[in-house]
Structure 1
Amino acid sequence: MSVANLDGDIPPAPPTSDSRTFARGVKDLVDGFRDSELWLHLGWTDIKQRYKRSVLGPLWITIATGVTAFAMGLLYGELFGQDLTWFLPYVALGFIFWNFISNSILDGSVVFSTNEGLIKQLPAPISVHVYRIVWRQLIIFAHNIVIYVVILIIFPQPLTWTALLVIPAIGLFVLNAVWVTIVFGVLSTRFRDIGELLKTAVNLVFFLTPIIWSTNTFTGDQGERVSGRMRLVELNPMYHYLEIARGPLMGESVAAYHWWVVIGCTTVGLSAAMLVMRNYRARVAYWV
């Protein structure tokens, strides 16, 4: 029953909270993006802190990736009988783009739990920390792409105008890094075991993805056996992500279905991210 005041009027009902609405989730993403000065600074600070007191600083990012790609390229190139002038750039690009993917997943899964103090003390949208992770991965990617430029000088590839397709590919990588950080970051904050599970899954997917091996080894006069192997590889979404980014820089044509698979995965991921932002965005500060 409603209780009337002294004048006989019924007091209005208390306002309902709109914290669990898509509008609030979108507003968080927009406000966080507008606060670019903050997440740009935080992302760059993360890189500097990682290599504090180091002589070479962030150049270690390039050195570590370059040495690994060169060693793996030589080893697996010899094992699989691949032409090193083609295989070394192939492996290098595989590592460069895989590092972006894997680091987005692993760093994104702990972005909120490792920034507890900042989240509780800084009145900012939680998406600021999402953009911070993505910006940090772009900085690392910029360091690593130098490796490809050096290898391209040593082993020139037949590049055409289709190499520009790497730009929309990187755009899709960025969108995927956003939703991956939101979904895994929020869920891992609530269920800390998810972070450990992701580490195991990422390591497993690395070996299932053609990074240090090539699908060219499946070609030959083996009929259905070859087709069956390729179908297994194509079940791995990471294969399609690497194809749309690595193919253009290798001077190869990329089949349209690779793009459609990536666009489909991106759409599903962004939809999941919006659901997470709608339902759990306000709880992150309590879970950290």
Structure 2
Amino acid sequence: MSDSEPGDVVDPSEVSSPRSWRRAFADLSAGWRQRPLWGYLGWQDIKQRYRRSVLGPLWISISMGVIALGLGILYSALFETPIATFLPHVAVGLLIWNFVSGCILEGSEVFISNEGLIKFLPAPLTLHIYRLVWRQTLFFLHNMVVWAVLMMVFPRPLGWALLLAVPAFALLAVNGAWIAILSGILATRFRDIPPIIASVTQLVFYLTPIVWSIDILKDNEAARERASLVELNPVFHFLEILRQPLLGQEIVGRYWLVAGTITVVGWFAALVCLRNYRSRVAYWV
């Protein structure tokens, strides 16, 4: 099976070796150029899921709203926190977590689930990555309806900081792509990885301040020293860089710094994996 893509100008020194940085970056570039294809496929994924449903994709927002309302009311009562403050906190946290967990869980099986297309469709490997991230983006945009309703029910001053939500989400999407590349390639080789990732992801949900708040730890004198340990969770930083502008909270610069560092390190690891093993995925699936 040839590893070159249509239109590639192959360096003679790389013909015998499928491992090259040029081919890895060419795959990313070729996949991005096929935006009409993966854009259409991503939208069809959602339509197929809700085919013959009266409300269709609106069920995405409804289910998200019901879960956020139930958890918000429950934990607001348990933590004795005003619901006007806690419900938006929980809802936006779930909104962001659904995107993050979707990229992680579906990313680990992105190539396995597209076995037929990978084997018989001459397309860049990263086309399936872009399709996954685009599909999760559509889910996120649907769920933004819940945020809009909450801002009308519990109004708060958002200010110009709200504009930071755009680059914050872009950073989330970029990280979702490298996570899918890295975990997707490894999972095609080692099939035990998807269930391991699923278990770890569920654990991370409880360790991340989504249905609870870090302020609860800070207000508790006995647990105040442990509040800083939350920042060891990398998901926390990505959660906060988007939740803070969406809720009109104070922007913390170090969260952006940590998120940017993780992005650079993560993409380096993903590119190394893509360079070394992209040509083997078709055989592993």
Residue 16 of structure 1 deviates from its aligned partner by 4.4
Which of the two has higher C-alpha Rg?
1
Measure, in 1, the Cα distance between the counterparts of 2:185 and 2:163: 34
Residue 99 of structure 1 deviates from its aligned partner by 0.3
Amino acid at match of 1:252: Q
**Is 2:233 the counterpart of 1:236?**
yes
TM-score by length of 1: 0.92
Measure, in 1, the Cα distance between the counterparts of 2:99 and 2:66: 17
**Is 2:221 the counterpart of 1:219?**
no
**Is 2:28 the counterpart of 1:29?**
yes
**Is 2:52 the counterpart of 1:76?**
no
Q: Which residue of 1 aligns with 2:242?
A: 245
TM-score by length of 2: 0.93
Q: Which residue of 1 aligns with 2:204?
A: 205
Q: Which residue of 1 aligns with 2:260?
A: 263
Unpaired segments of 5 or more residues in structure 1? 1-12
Measure, in 2, the Cα distance between the counterparts of 1:14 and 1:85: 64
RMSD: 1.4
Instruction: Check 1:40–1:220 CA distance in 2 against 1; reply closer, same or farther (3 A cut).
Output: closer
Instruction: Check 1:16–1:30 CA distance in 2 against 1; reply closer, same or farther (3 A cut).
Output: closer
Deviation string for 1:247-273 (max 9, x for gaps)? Answer: 111111121110011001111110011
Q: Which residue of 2 aligns with 1:154?
A: 153
Amino acid at match of 1:145: M
Residue 119 of structure 1 deviates from its aligned partner by 0.9
Kept in 1, the 8 Å contact 2:38–2:130? The answer is: yes
State the percentage of identical aligned residues: 50
Query: 195-204 vs 226-235, which deviates more?
Result: 226-235
Q: Which residue of 2 aligns with 1:173?
A: 172
Amino acid at match of 1:268: V
Runs of 4+ more than 3 Å apart: 13-16
Q: Which residue of 2 aligns with 1:136?
A: 135
Amino acid at match of 1:85: A
Q: Which residue of 2 aligns with 1:5?
A: none
Q: Which residue of 2 aligns with 1:7?
A: none
**Is 2:284 the counterpart of 1:284?**
no
What is the 5 A alignment of 1:27-66? Answer: 27-66=26-65
**Is 2:121 the counterpart of 1:122?**
yes
Kept in 2, the 8 Å contact 1:18–1:24? The answer is: no
Measure, in 1, the Cα distance between the counterparts of 2:220 and 2:73: 26
Residue 221 of structure 1 deviates from its aligned partner by 6.7
Residue 159 of structure 1 deviates from its aligned partner by 0.8
Instruction: Check 1:213–1:15 CA distance in 2 against 1; reply closer, same or farther (3 A cut).
Output: closer
